[in-house]
């Protein structure tokens, strides 16, 4: 088994075991979406109009709130020292950890989104556009959030700090994710443009995130 | 009668959903039962080689004590 | 293989932990690092494996693999056991073996050596402190690396396990390995070098 | 510690082993009879054949509430009497109750689709059921997060009791919220229930009740075994050198 393969399997295994919290992100997503109509009102036309925005915001919060233990757990039990000493480049190590995190937290959100979309009166076309944007956009959230997780690794109130640090950085993803999801039915802006920019943002975060997170971990570990 | 045909997919869908949910519950309970019994049998094997004194009855009481 | 340090200085949070520490350890030798609490024993080990930046001085490794850093050729046994409670004993060791570039068969052998074979399928959460320590020591045997850096390795081990660790260290030295150990007590190994940190004039 | 407490899990296990096949068999028989009656029952003059969904929807709703009641009693058992069997009962009931709440939501939206033209409206009853479902998921997540069963049991018990107090308030609030927004005042209970419909409904409710009892017993048996496995494993780790 290659070092990174071993790490991927280990991280995914931990998150589905007792105490792992793989599905808590989806649960959070569901709760946030279910609460919205209580604040906004049950008007189905209105919910349909703002549905993609609600789902995107909920997905954003769900994927970021689950991130704070990404490196902190390994820091607390000494695993991080050994991960830093491995022969695999640290950038790839953190990218692998983020991938494992996305597979157990982000991907379930994407899979649950169409069902939860039903609650907001989204039809099949809206759902398809939404799932597509989430599938492309949530990796960007994880890989941007990973930088915050690395910066906050040794801090006690890391979870809150993480949200404060990272949420502003996710503004572009949110803008183009919601734009692409909404243009599918509202016709506000062409789907292709927004979606292409969203893809570009994700690719950029896949490159920048690991380098920034690795650099932050090297600083923080001392 | 026309209405019945119109809405038939929803009725069938409901009963199918009920079947799936109940089947999933039964499967969960059954598979879990098998897994726990296998784990217990495994432990008995280990336990019998190392501590021949305490029989199964003895252990179940200790199990209860742990919980209380 | 020879690992030398020349006038190493360590600073943490603006405070100087130790200054001008020099040593030289060759293959087959053990360096015992002693000193009171806070003298910087752990910091010295972490500097050597690259987990703390060197403030001043140099670290030189002769005869190692020039493409790898010192940390990548060393095992570090810190205060924490680097185990995940949710994973079983086997899964924990297999992960570190795989990650550090060893083979699965070696992991099975190592579990046997530290006497945890019977507990292989148990979650690490159920282990006692001594058992966790032994599982973490198994890592050193499962993957071959020439340098061992051990931070208070005898902590939490009972007499039998201490003897076993001593034997493992001896075997490692005999194979041409090199050991740096921060320790309070004796490691029971003849002919070890000593490095005393802090208050050397007293 | 009373001797009865010690023996109880073992005695319960023996009882469950004997009772589960009988209960399971009875469940199948009553289900067969109930389904037969449901198929023979006349259609509603307003809702047509979709009324047949009611035979699943209403019993699921009842059971999803009953399971919380079971958990509430068990929570009292955990907190007041510290009875280990109460922990086990509470843990077993949560996923089952959640599954019935889910079934109630699915059948509710399938029933509503022909009426409303959409799978989901924020109807007061369905919405309350959705909140109940979310609470169940929360309890299950809590059980899955804490490894030590005794600690998990106490935390889940407190959450269950707070939920039991909050559920009527939630129901009231959702009703109030729903009437505030005039838009969605459909409601599934438009028609009076005639005896021809009531009888199959009661049979189906009995079948669901039996199903719950069987599943609950089986899940409790699993949980007792799981704890025994855990205890034995801990002992093994302790007795090993």
DSSP codes, D108-133: HHHHHHHHHSSS----HHHHHHHHHH
Interface residue D177 vs chain A (CB under 8 A): yes
Structure token pair of residue C148: 């061992």
DSSP-based three-state secondary structure for C14: coil
Domain CATH for C66: 3.40.50.300
Instruction: Name which of A7, A19, A79, A214 to mutate to probe chain C: the one with the most chain C Cβ atoms within 10 A of its Cβ.
Output: A79
pLDDT at B58: 42
In whole angstroms, give the CA distance from residue C131 to residue C127: 6
Of C75 and D47, the one with more pLDDT: C75
Q: Work out the average pLDDT over D68-84.
A: 91
Neighbouring-strand partners of residue C34: C196
Kindly report the nearest CA distance between residue D186 and chain C, in angstroms.
Answer: 49
Residue A187 pLDDT grade (very low, low, confident, very high; cuts 50, 70, 90): low
Q: The pTM is what? A: 0.86
For residue C171, CA distances in Å to A39, C2, C78, C174 come to 69, 18, 21, 5
Note whether D118 contacts A: Cβ–Cβ < 8 A. yes
Q: Dihedral angle at the C-alpha atoms of A183, A185, A186, A191, nearest 10 degrees?
A: 20
Whether D192 has a pLDDT exceeding 70, the answer reads no
Bridge partner list, A50 = none
Residues of D with Cβ-Cβ distance to A118 under 8 angstroms: 109, 119-120
CB D237 within 8 A of CB C126: yes
In a domain, C172, yes or no: yes
Instruction: Mark yes or no for CB contact B47/D1 under 8 Å.
Output: no
CB A109 within 8 A of CB A61: no
Is the Cβ pair D222, B40 closer than 8 Å?
no
- Whether B49 and chain D come into contact, CB under 8 Å, resolves to no
Q: Which residue has 């790898």 as its token pair?
A: C68
Contact yes or no for C160 and D234 at CB 8 A: no
Total structural domains within chain A: 1
- Does chain A touch chain B (at least 3 C-beta pairs within 8 Å)? no
CA distance linking residue A80 with residue A217, whole number of Å: 9
Q: Which of D140, D145, D160 is nearest to D98 (CA)?
A: D140
Q: How many CB atoms lie within 10 A of CB D56?
A: 28
Q: What domain range includes position C153?
A: 2-196
- The answer to whether D239 contacts chain C (CB < 8 Å) is no
Facing residue for C101 by CB, picked from A3, A13, A81: A3
CA angle C25, C26, C28 (to 5 degrees): 115
What are the structure tokens assigned to C152, written together? 């208070």
- At D89-144, the pLDDT tens digits run 999 999 999 999 999 999 998 888 887 788 888 888 888 899 999 999 999 999 98
Confidence class for position A184, pLDDT limits 50, 70, 90: low
CA atoms within 13 A on the CB side of D182: 0
Q: Is C40 left (phi over 0), alpha (psi -120 to 50) or beta?
A: left
Chains that touch B (3 or more CB pairs under 8 A): D
What total of structural domains would you count in chain C? 1
pLDDT of residue B18: 93
Residue of D nearest to B38 (CA): D229
Residue D7 pLDDT greater than 70, yes or no: no
pLDDT band at C30, cuts 50/70/90?
Answer: confident
Q: Which residues contact D126 (CB under 8 A, 6 or more apart)?
A: D105, D108, D109, D112, D120
**DSSP, res C119:** G
Chain D interface, best mutation among C87, C88, C111, C122, by max D CB count within 10 A? C122
C115 interfaces chain D, CB cutoff of 8 Å: yes
Is the CB of B14 less than 8 angstroms away from the CB of D56?
yes
Structure tokens at A146: 């990973």
| For testing contact with chain D, the best of A31, A69, A112, A119 (most D CBs within 10 A) | A119
User: Under an 8 A CB cutoff, do D145 and A43 touch?
Assistant: no
CA distance B29 to chain D (A): 6
pLDDT of residue D38 exceeding 50: yes
Which residues are paired to C15 by β-bridges? C12
Q: Please indicate, yes or no, if residue C201 is contained in any of the structural domains.
A: no
- Using CB atoms, which chains have 3+ pairs under 8 A with D? A, B, C
User: For residue C51, which phi and psi values (nearest 5 degrees)?
Assistant: -90, -15
Residues 6+ apart with CB under 8 A from D167: D68, D132, D135
- Which ranges in chain A belong to alpha helices (H)? 3-16, 24-40, 44-65, 69-76, 79-85, 90-101, 107-119, 124-151, 158-166, 171-186, 191-220
Backbone φ, ψ for residue C3 (5° rounding): -110, 120
In this complex, is the C-beta atom of B51 within 8 Å of any C-beta atom belonging to chain D?
yes
Q: Is the dihedral of CA A160, A165, A167, A173 positive or negative?
A: negative
A78 touches chain C (CB under 8 A): yes
| 8 Å CB contact of B64 and D221 | no
pLDDT in tens, C49-65: 888 888 888 888 888 78
Q: Is A8 on the interface with C (CB under 8 A)?
A: no
Domain boundaries, chain B: 25-68
Q: Which of D121, D130, D177 sits opposite A34 (nearest CB)?
A: D130
Q: Does A115 touch chain D (CB under 8 A)?
A: no
Instruction: Check if A187 contacts C (Cβ < 8 Å).
Output: no
C92 lies within 8 A of chain D by CB: no
Residues of A in contact with D186 (CB under 8 A): none
| Domain spans, chain D | 9-235
Angstrom distance (rounded) from CA A107 to CA A22: 10
- Name which of D147, D236, D241 is nearest C160 (Cβ-Cβ): D241
Range(s) of the domain holding residue A123: 3-220
Tokens of C170: 């001896």
* Position D46 confidence tier, pLDDT thresholds 50, 70, 90: low
Per-residue pLDDT of chain B (68 residues; tens, 9 = 90+): 444 456 788 888 999 999 999 999 999 999 999 999 998 888 887 764 444 434 444 444 444 444 43
Rank A181-195, C168-182, D83-97, D110-124 by mean pLDDT and report only the highest: D83-97
| Cβ neighbours of D80 (radius 10 Å) | 10
**Complex confidence, ipTM:** 0.82
Identify the weakest region by mean pLDDT among A198-212, B21-35, D173-187.
D173-187
Q: Helices D149-180 and D84-116 meet at what angle, rounded to 10?
A: 30
């Amino acid at each position: 088994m290659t070092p990174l393969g071993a790490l991927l399997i280990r991280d995914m295994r931990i998150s589905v075991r007792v105490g792992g919290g793989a599905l808590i992100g989806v649960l959070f997503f569901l709760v946030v979406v279910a609460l919205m109509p209580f604040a906004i009102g049950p008007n189905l036309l209105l919910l349909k109009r703002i549905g993609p925005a609600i789902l995107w915001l909920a997905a954003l919060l769900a994927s970021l709130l689950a991130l704070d233990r990404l490196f902190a757990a390994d820091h607390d039990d000494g695993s991080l020292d050994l991960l830093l000493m491995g022969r695999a480049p640290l950038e790839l190590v953190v990218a692998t950890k983020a991938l494992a995190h996305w597979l157990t937290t982000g991907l379930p959100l994407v899979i649950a989104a169409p069902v939860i979309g039903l609650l907001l009166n989204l039809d099949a076309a809206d759902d398809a556009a939404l799932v597509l944007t989430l599938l492309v956009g949530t990796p960007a959230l994880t890989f941007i959030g990973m930088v915050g997780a690395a910066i906050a690794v040794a801090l006690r109130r890391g979870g809150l700090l993480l949200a404060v640090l990272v949420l502003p950085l996710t503004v572009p993803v949110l803008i183009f994710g919601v734009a692409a999801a909404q243009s599918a039915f509202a016709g506000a802006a062409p789907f292709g443009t927004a979606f292409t920019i969203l893809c570009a943002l994700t690719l950029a975060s896949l490159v920048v995130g690991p380098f920034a997170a690795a650099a932050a971990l090297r600083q923080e570990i001392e | 009668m026309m209405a019945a045909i119109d809405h038939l997919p929803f009725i069938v869908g409901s009963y199918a959903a009920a079947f799936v949910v109940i089947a999933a519950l039964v499967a969960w309970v059954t598979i879990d039962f098998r897994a726990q019994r296998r784990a217990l049998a495994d432990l008995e094997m280990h336990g019998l080689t190392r501590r021949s004194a305490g029989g199964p009855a003895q252990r179940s009481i200790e199990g209860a004590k742990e919980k209380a | 293989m020879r690992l030398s340090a020349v006038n190493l200085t360590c600073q943490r949070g603006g405070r100087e932990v130790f200054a001008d520490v020099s040593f030289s350890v060759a293959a087959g030798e053990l360096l015992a690092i002693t000193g009171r609490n806070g003298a910087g024993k752990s910091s010295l080990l972490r500097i050597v494996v690259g987990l703390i930046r060197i403030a001043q001085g140099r670290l030189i490794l002769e005869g190692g693999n020039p493409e790898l850093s010192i940390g990548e050729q060393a095992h570090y046994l810190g205060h924490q056991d680097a185990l995940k409670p949710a994973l079983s004993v086997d899964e924990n060791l297999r992960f570190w073996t795989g990650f550090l570039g060893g083979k699965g068969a070696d992991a099975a052998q190592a579990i046997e050596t530290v006497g945890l074979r019977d507990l292989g399928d148990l979650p690490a959460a159920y282990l006692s402190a001594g058992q966790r320590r032994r599982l973490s020591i198994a890592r050193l045997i499962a993957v071959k690396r020439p340098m061992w850096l051990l931070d208070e390795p005898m902590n939490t081990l009972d007499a039998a396990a201490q003897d076993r660790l001593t034997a493992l260290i001896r075997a490692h030295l005999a194979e041409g390995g090199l050991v740096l150990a921060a320790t309070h007590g004796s490691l029971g190994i003849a002919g070890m070098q000593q490095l005393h940190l802090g208050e050397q004039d007293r | 510690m009373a001797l009865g407490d010690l023996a109880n899990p073992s005695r319960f296990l023996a009882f469950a082993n004997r009772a589960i096949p009988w209960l399971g068999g009875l469940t199948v028989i009553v289900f067969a009879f109930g389904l037969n009656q449901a198929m023979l029952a006349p259609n509603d003059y307003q809702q047509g054949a979709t009324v047949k969904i009611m035979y699943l929807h209403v019993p699921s709703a009842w059971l999803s509430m009953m399971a919380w009641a079971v958990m509430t009693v068990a929570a009292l058992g955990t907190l007041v009497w510290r009875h280990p069997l109460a922990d086990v009962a509470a843990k077993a009931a949560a996923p089952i109750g959640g599954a019935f709440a889910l079934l109630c939501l699915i059948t509710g939206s399938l029933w509503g689709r022909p009426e409303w033209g959409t799978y989901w409206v924020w109807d007061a009853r369905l919405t309350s059921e959705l909140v109940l479902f979310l609470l169940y998921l929360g309890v299950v997540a809590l059980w899955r997060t804490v490894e030590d069963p005794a600690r998990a049991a106490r935390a889940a018990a407190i959450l269950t009791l707070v939920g039991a107090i909050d559920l009527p308030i939630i129901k009231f609030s959702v009703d109030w919220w729903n009437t505030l927004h005039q838009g969605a005042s459909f409601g599934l209970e438009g028609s009076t229930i005639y005896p021809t419909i009531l009888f199959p409904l009661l049979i189906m409710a009995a079948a669901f009740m039996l199903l719950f009892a069987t599943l609950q017993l089986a899940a409790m048996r699993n949980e007792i075994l799981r704890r025994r496995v855990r205890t034995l494993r801990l002992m093994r780790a302790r007795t090993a050198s």
